[in-house]
Each structure stands twice: as structure tokens, then as C-alpha cells.
């Protein structure tokens, strides 16, 4: 496992991170604590040093798993967490008031069993709080030694510029994959200009790019993909064309579709660090195998040409989840 620099911030992380959300939140029942901690520790033993969590992933439950799993190697890992949802729930609206940011920071430090947060993201831009105030609050936390680096998630070009002018961002975390290429239009050029790293979440298209899902796949009743338009039965059937493409490329490289999806992301920029998540040891090993797949310029040109000719079906989020859209 090699390391990558997140922009010009000086923050070095493993080239592949581990997204911990699914262990507690979003994709069905939570993984039992023993298995979740074992998975986190296996990721570390396999060379991953970059772990992503958030207050909103179970109101601190996910952070506690990370704390229990990594406290014994705290000085050898980079832990990212997030603030910005009211009551720590992504269903209760946004709250990035300075006093709330400070409260979340103190809770996260306790849950993570640490005295500093390596990377503290604003989970979503709060339209009721100027981003300058948010950046200023994190800047103060950095001065106090409680936070090392500032980040944002799903932020717009304007919001990134305004916040970066107050406290330089180390990273932006937003959705990016073969299944969602919107950041290529404005966000990636901006990050390159400002020297900000990019941490794609859902790099496997919320599981779709693994090739293990089809129109007949049934989700657990608590799985949030049930309400995402792009994951309706009809749209999964319509979007099978991208799985056919990735599966074909995987066959040419003696790889799996998931490994090709991750290799494609890693090949985009040297300061991009995907954070796939999983609840299974076998999937963890498969994902890590993606770092060994090299796509040459001709491969990438062919893939991107094919992707440009695919019109994916379904919106990313329903209108009811407006707080999860970028601002």
C-alpha cells in the first residue's frame, strides 16, 4: 500500500481509505461490534491508514467503533470525522453553528478515544451559517490542537473558495465514481487549482459497480438505497449497461468489477483517495486488490469514451433529501 498526499496540505494517507459508515448506518442492520472492530483492524493490518467516520453514522456509535478498533495504533493512522447535522442525525436538518461544531468536536474526541482529530469535515454546507464562520471555528480548533486539518463534503465551488480563504482545506469529500462523474465538470479543476485533496465516497456506486447487484436485488427495509431514485428496480435494470462495461474491462485485466472501479478512480489524479466501505472480510481484500490494477492512458481513454456514451437512469437523491445535495 502506497501513500498519497491530500493536495498540498501535507496530510499523507494510504492510497485507499476505509469508509466505516456501513458498519453502523445506511446499509441495513449494524454489524455486531466484535466483527466491526475485527474488520477495522484487518484494514489497518492490510496497510490502510485512513479511516472515515462521522457523528451522523449512528450518533457517535460508528466513531466509538473506530475508537475501539484503532486506539492502540492511534499515532499510526489518520482518522477523519464530520460535524454538521442537527442532533447528529442526517434526518434532522443541518446545524453548523460554531457552538455546535465545538460540541461535536468534544464528543468525537471522547468517542474516538483521542485528543486530536486528523481531519474534521463539515458534513454538508449549512445555508444558515456563513461558511466563513464554520472555517473560522475549525481554524480555532486547529490552533487549540484539537483538530489537525479542515475539510468539507459535497460543497459547491463557491462554498469551497469562501471557506478556503479563511482556513485552507486539506480535502473535499464528495461522491465520485464511474456511476457519478459530476465532480469532473467544476469540482476537480477547482481542487487542482487550490491544492485540495479529493476523497470520493461511494467509489463503488453504493455497491452497484461491484457487479453483484441487479434489478431483482432486494434491500433490507432499513437500507437507504430503497429511497434513492437511481436504485429503483427499473433504473437498476436500465443502468445494467455500465455493469456490462465494467465487467468486460475486468475480464481483460483479470480483475473484478469493483477493482476496476477503484483503479479507475486512482488513475484520475494522484491526490484522489477513495474510501470504499464493506462489512465483509472478503470484500475488504477484493477492494485492496484494486490498488494493484494499472490502467494505462489508452485504457482510460477507452473507458471514458464508453462512459460518455452511457446515459445513466435516475436521480442521485430524492427531493426529500435536499440536505444531502451539495451547496
Mean pLDDT of 118-126: 97
Mean pLDDT of 206-217: 90
Whole-number pLDDT of residue 169: 98
Q: Give residue-wise pLDDT tens across range 182-195.
A: 999 999 999 999 99
Whole-number pLDDT of residue 301: 94
Q: What percent of the chain has pLDDT over 90?
A: 86
Among residues 3, 4, 89, the alpha carbon closest in space to that of 269 is found at 4
Query: How many angstroms separate the CA atoms of 264 and 260, rounded?
Result: 6
Mean pLDDT of 112-117: 98
3-204+268-293 domain in CATH 1.10.300.10? no
What lies within 8 Å, CB to CB, of 189 at 6+ separation is none
Residue with cell 464530520: 82
Phi, psi of 61 (to 5 degrees): -60, -40
Compute the residue count for the chain. Answer: 327
Q: Give all strands (DSSP E) within the chain, no chain letters.
A: 3-5, 12-14, 18-19, 50-52, 78-83, 117-122, 147-153, 169-175, 197-201
Q: Give residue-wise pLDDT tens across range 4-53.
A: 999 999 999 999 999 999 999 888 889 999 999 999 999 999 999 999 99
Whole-number pLDDT of residue 323: 72
Q: Which of 57, 111, 121, 176 is catalytic?
A: 57
**What single-letter DSSP state applies at residue 74?**
G
**57 is annotated as an active-site residue:** yes
Q: Where are the domains of the chain?
A: 3-204+268-293
Among residues 247, 202, 210, 200, the alpha carbon closest in space to that of 228 is found at 202
Cell of 134: 464554520
Query: How many angstroms separate the CA atoms of 90 and 137, rounded?
Result: 21
Amino acid at each position: 500500500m502506497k501513500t498519497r498526499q491530500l493536495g498540498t496540505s501535507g496530510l499523507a494517507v494510504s492510497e485507499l481509505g476505509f469508509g466505516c459508515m456501513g458498519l453502523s448506518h445506511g446499509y441495513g442492520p449494524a454489524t455486531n461490534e466484535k466483527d466491526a472492530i475485527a474488520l477495522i483492524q484487518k484494514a489497518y493490518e492490510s496497510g490502510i491508514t485512513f479511516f472515515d467516520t462521522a457523528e451522523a453514522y449512528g450518533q457517535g456509535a460508528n466513531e466509538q467503533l473506530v475508537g475501539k478498533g484503532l486506539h492502540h495504533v492511534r499515532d499510526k493512522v489518520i482518522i477523519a470525522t464530520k460535524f454538521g447535522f442537527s442532533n447528529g442525525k442526517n434526518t434532522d436538518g443541518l446545524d453548523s453553528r460554531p457552538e455546535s461544531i465545538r460540541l461535536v468536536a468534544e464528543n468525537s474526541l471522547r468517542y474516538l478515544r483521542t485528543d486530536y482529530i486528523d481531519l474534521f469535515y463539515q458534513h454538508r454546507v449549512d445555508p444558515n451559517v456563513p461558511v466563513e464562520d464554520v472555517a473560522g471555528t475549525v481554524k480555532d480548533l486547529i490552533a487549540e490542537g484539537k483538530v489537525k486539518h479542515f475539510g468539507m463534503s459535497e460543497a459547491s465551488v463557491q462554498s469551497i473558495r469562501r471557506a478556503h480563504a479563511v482556513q485552507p482545506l486539506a480535502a473535499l469529500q464528495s461522491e465520485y465514481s464511474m456511476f457519478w462523474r459530476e465532480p469532473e465538470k467544476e469540482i476537480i479543476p477547482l481542487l487542482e487549482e487550490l491544492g485540495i485533496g479529493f476523497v470520493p465516497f461511494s467509489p463503488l456506486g453504493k455497491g452497484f459497480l461491484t457487479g453483484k447487484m441487479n434489478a431483482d436485488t432486494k434491500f433490507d427495509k432499513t437500507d437507504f438505497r430503497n429511497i434513492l431514485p437511481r436504485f429503483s428496480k427499473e433504473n437498476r435494470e436500465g443502468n445494467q449497461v455500465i455493469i456490462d462495461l465494467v465487467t468486460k474491462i475486468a475480464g481483460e485485466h483479470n480483475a473484478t468489477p469493483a477493482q476496476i472501479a477503484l483503479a479507475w478512480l486512482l488513475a484520475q489524479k494522484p491526490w484522489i483517495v477513495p474510501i470504499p466501505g464493506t462489512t465483509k472480510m472478503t470484500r475488504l481484500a477484493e477492494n485492496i486488490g484494486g490498488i494493484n490494477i494499472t490502467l494505462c492512458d489508452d485504457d482510460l481513454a477507452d473507458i471514458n469514451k464508453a462512459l460518455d456514451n452511457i446515459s445513466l437512469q435516475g436521480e442521485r437523491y430524492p427531493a426529500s433529501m435536499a440536505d444531502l445535495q451539495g451547496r
